[in-house]
Amino acid sequence: MSLRTLKLFTIMLPPVLIGGFEYIRHDFLLGVLSMETGNLYITLLTLLLSYLFATWMFRRIGRTNERLAAEEAKRAVYEERERLAQELHDNIAQILFFLNVQLRKGQIDEARSAVSELDHQLRQAIFNLRTVPEEGGGFAARLETWLEEWSAISGIAVERSVEPHAIQLTPAAEVHLFSVIREAFTNIRKHSLADHAAITLDQDAQQRWRLRISDNGIGMEALKIPEHSRKQYGLAMIRKHAQALGAQVTLHQVPDEGVELLLIGPEPGKETI
């Protein structure tokens, strides 16, 4: 049913049915129905029609909202796939350029390191593209699978404490949260020189979801980096995704350890997506 037809139906149905009943009552049923009985019937008829029409309308609105939410979730997933593909393209281009330079100089060890980095980039990117939120399984299950794969690829042990029911997010929001986790662990692997990382996903006292990622690397010194470096870009992406989630993000030094990233979601009912 088109929007125009639905609008016309909404306007015409109540007056036609109720007005038609009143016309029949006054012209044909005055000798059968008293005024009080007729008023009672028209009231009941109005109530019944209002209930049936409102129920039908809200169901239709609900189905429309569900369809729009699903389309928005797919759009978010496709945007994230496109970003990952662009990032993969840029990283591979940089590594291949570096590899070419090292081979021309005859620096075989550096070239081998570049090949190893290229292999890692490809394996991680392929896995990232396989684990977007449109696939089956809950967020916690997908995160657990991704962390196992990341640990195996990077050689960095990951301590995990994830409460499966700590968060209730839309698929679009899950894309942003997963992107934050991915960027944080990419920075740990590339810049922290850590051999151990930890991730906690739970709720705080206000029932807000809380994500904490830490490592035992070189600490805040890793943040003293050129403005246009890859890590600065990664931190900017983390803040961008946190803003989309309506979450608070902080990054600070853990005493005698590395860096801790803390992301706290909005209060329940105040999510932005």
272 and 147 both lie in a single domain: yes
Does pTM surpass 0.75? no
The domain of 162 spans: 139-273
Q: Which of 41, 64, 87 is the last residue of a domain?
A: 64
Q: Tell me, yes or no, whether 37 and 159 share the same domain.
A: no
Higher per-residue pLDDT: 258 or 196: 196
Clarify whether residues 168 and 258 are in a common domain. yes
Which band of pLDDT confidence, cut at 50, 70 and 90, is reported for residue 229? Answer: very low
Contact between 211 and 201 (Cβ < 8 Å): yes
Residue 82, C-beta contacts closer than 8 angstroms, at least 6 positions apart: none
Q: Which residue has the tokens 């939410």?
A: 69
Tell me, what CATH number does 240's domain have?
3.30.565.10
Same-domain pairing of 267 and 147: yes
Residues 256, 235 contacting (CB under 8 angstroms):
no
**Residue 257 included in any domain:** yes
259 vs 226, residue with greater confidence: 259
The rounded percent of the chain whose pLDDT value lies above 90 is 11
| Domain end position, chosen among 64, 79, 104 | 64
What totals of helices (H) and strands (E) does the chain contain, helices first? 6, 5
- The tens digit of pLDDT for each residue in 90-121 reads 767 777 877 788 788 888 877 777 777 677 66
Does residue 144 lie within any of the structural domains? yes
User: Do 144 and 40 share a domain, yes or no?
Assistant: no
Question: Could you tell me if residue 146 is inside a domain?
Answer: yes
pLDDT tens column, 72-84: 777 777 776 776 6
Give the side-chain half-sphere CA count within 13 A for 68.
7
pLDDT for 221 = 60
Which of 37, 64, 91 terminates a domain? The answer is 64
Residues β-bridged to residue 210: 202, 264
> Cβ(227)–Cβ(248) under 8 Å?
no
Residues 128 and 88: their CA atoms lie apart, in Å, by: 11
pLDDT of residue 228: 42
**What is the Cα–Cα distance from 73 to 98, expressed in whole angstroms?**
37
Contacts of 110 (CB under 8 A, 6+ apart): 98, 102
89: in domain: no
Domain-located, residue 267? yes
Domain check: are 273 and 148 in the same one?
Answer: yes
Q: Are residues 148 and 54 in the same domain?
A: no
Per residue in 150-180, pLDDT (tens digit) is 888 788 999 999 887 777 777 778 878 888 8
The pLDDT of residue 227 is 43
**Do 160 and 269 have their domain in common?**
yes
Residue 76 in any domain: the answer is no
Read off the amino acid at residue 226.
P
The alpha carbon of residue 248 and the mean position of all alpha carbons in its chain are separated, in whole angstroms, by 16
Domain count, the chain: 2
The pLDDT assigned to 230 comes to 45
Residues 268 and 161 in one domain: yes
